[in-house]
Structure 1
Amino acid sequence: MEPVLELKNISYAYHTLDGETKTLTDISFSVASGEFVAIVGPSGCGKSTLLSIISGLLEPEKGLIKMNGKYTGENSMNIGYMLQHDYLFEWRTVYKNVLLGLEIQHMLSAKSRTKAMDLLETYGLKQFANSKPSELSGGMRQRAALIRTLVLDPDILLLDEPFSSLDYQNRLFAADDIGQIIRSTQKTALLVTHDLSEAVSLADRVIILTNRPASISKIVPITFDLEKDTPLHRRNAPEFKNYFNTIWEELNQNE
């Protein structure tokens, strides 16, 4: 089966009046349909830049990207992007925030409105449909932001540290909550995070990047033998510590 996403030898550098800053070098990997892949690496190594390239916000200086078997520019792949902040607008209700992407893409219809409300009900936010975002907890706001993305039926979700603005307890619950939603919808997801525990608890594979200019140091497959495989249950499993230590040691091998 053709991968949903395939990167071949991606390189990128930022150019300023002070010179060139090489950020990514020779990045190659693929993501299968329904797979959840996490990317970790040292701070400032180019993780978010990589997501910007995949989403089309930046163009790679070298290399090629395939989505659903077609090169960038030839495909019409629908990409969902969740950022560090939920960017819910306080002057709109939760329901109208969920509809925002549909409005922007001129996809509002009776059917899409019904789908949005159905998603709010499925994920426990229907009673807050007419509330303002300030009335929601941090985790609920992120859930609303995810629903806003899911209602567009994206082929792949790009998650750029979506829980980093939450306190530790809410971060745990939000990651568990949203991780289960993504699994239940069988969406393909690519997560950037600096939190190794988060990566191990959510992902099928963890891609480890080196210091800038970043290249791939190692890819670690993640499997758990659990009756109910959820992010919170993974954190309590015996394999969790081994995966965490493997990734930690790889990241710090040159320290």
Structure 2
Amino acid sequence: MEPILEMQHITYSYHTTEGETKALEDVSFSVSEGEFIAIVGPSGCGKSTLLSIICGILKPEKGLIKMNGKNLKQSTTNIGYMLQHDHLFEWRTVYHNVLLGLEVQHMLSAKTRKKALELLEQYGLQQFKNSRPSQLSGGMRQRVALIRTLVLEPELLLLDEPFSALDYQTRLTVGNDIGQILKHEHKTAILVTHDLSEAVSLADRVLILTPRPATISKIVDISFELENDTPMHRRNASEFKNYFNLIWEELNGYE
């Protein structure tokens, strides 16, 4: 089966009046359907730049990107993007915030409205559908933001540190919730994070980037022998510490 995403020898530089800053150099990897990839690396190494290239916001100077076997420009693959902040509008109810992407993409219909309500109910937010964002906790707001993305039925979901604005306890809970939601929905996802525990608890593979200009220094396959493989159960498993230390030591080599 062809991978959903192929990144082949991607290179990218930022250009300003002060000169050129190389962000990425010769980055290659692929993502299979249903796979959850986490990307970690030193601050400022180009992790978010990589997501911007995948969704077409930035164009690489060198290299090739394929989605479902087609060049990115020719691909019709639907990509969802979830950012650090939920960007919910206070003047819209929770339900109408969920519908926003459908409105923008002219996909609003009786069927998609029903799908939005089903997702709200499925993930414990149906009773808050007429609430305003300010009436929700930070974790609930992030779940609404995820549902707003999922209702568009993306084939590939990009997560740019979506839990970083939350306090630690909420971050653990929401990370566990969202990890299980994505597994239940059989979504393919790429997560950028600074949190190594988050990467190990959520991902099937962890890509470790070098300092800028970033290239991939190591790819760690993550596998847990768990009857109920959830992010929270992973954190309590014996293998967790080994994976964390392996990634930490790889990153620490660049300090």
Asked if these proteins are the same fold (TM beyond 0.5), I'd say: yes
Partner of 1:198: 198
Aligned residues: 255
Q: Could you list the per-position Cα deviations for residues 86-143 of structure 1 after superposition, in whole angstroms to 9, with x for gaps in the alignment?
A: 0000000000000000000001001110010000000010000000011111111110
Summarize the alignment of residues 24-103 of structure 1 with structure 2, pairs less than 5 Å apart.
24-103=24-103
RMSD of equivalent CA atoms = 0.5
Q: Partners in 2 of 1:247 and 1:52 — Cα distance?
A: 24
Taking structure 1 as the reference length, what is the TM-score of the superposition? Answer: 0.99
Report the secondary structure of 2:24's partner residue. strand
Partner of 2:128: 128
Q: Could you list the per-position Cα deviations for residues 163-189 of structure 1 after superposition, in whole angstroms to 9, with x for gaps in the alignment?
A: 000000000000000000000000000
Query: Is 1:228 equivalent to 2:228 in the alignment?
Result: yes
Taking structure 2 as the reference length, what is the TM-score of the superposition? Answer: 0.99
> What displacement does 1:191 show?
0.2
Query: Is 1:15 equivalent to 2:15 in the alignment?
Result: yes
Q: Partners in 2 of 1:133 and 1:152 — Cα distance?
A: 20
- Stretches of structure 2 that go unaligned for 5 or more consecutive residues are none
Q: Partners in 2 of 1:165 and 1:189 — Cα distance?
A: 20
What amino acid maps onto 1:4 in structure 2? I
What amino acid maps onto 1:110 in structure 2? A
Q: Partners in 1 of 2:137 and 2:226 — Cα distance?
A: 29
Report the secondary structure of 1:226's partner residue. coil
Partner of 1:157: 157
Partner of 1:214: 214
> What displacement does 1:253 show?
1.4
| Percentage identity across paired residues of the two chains | 75
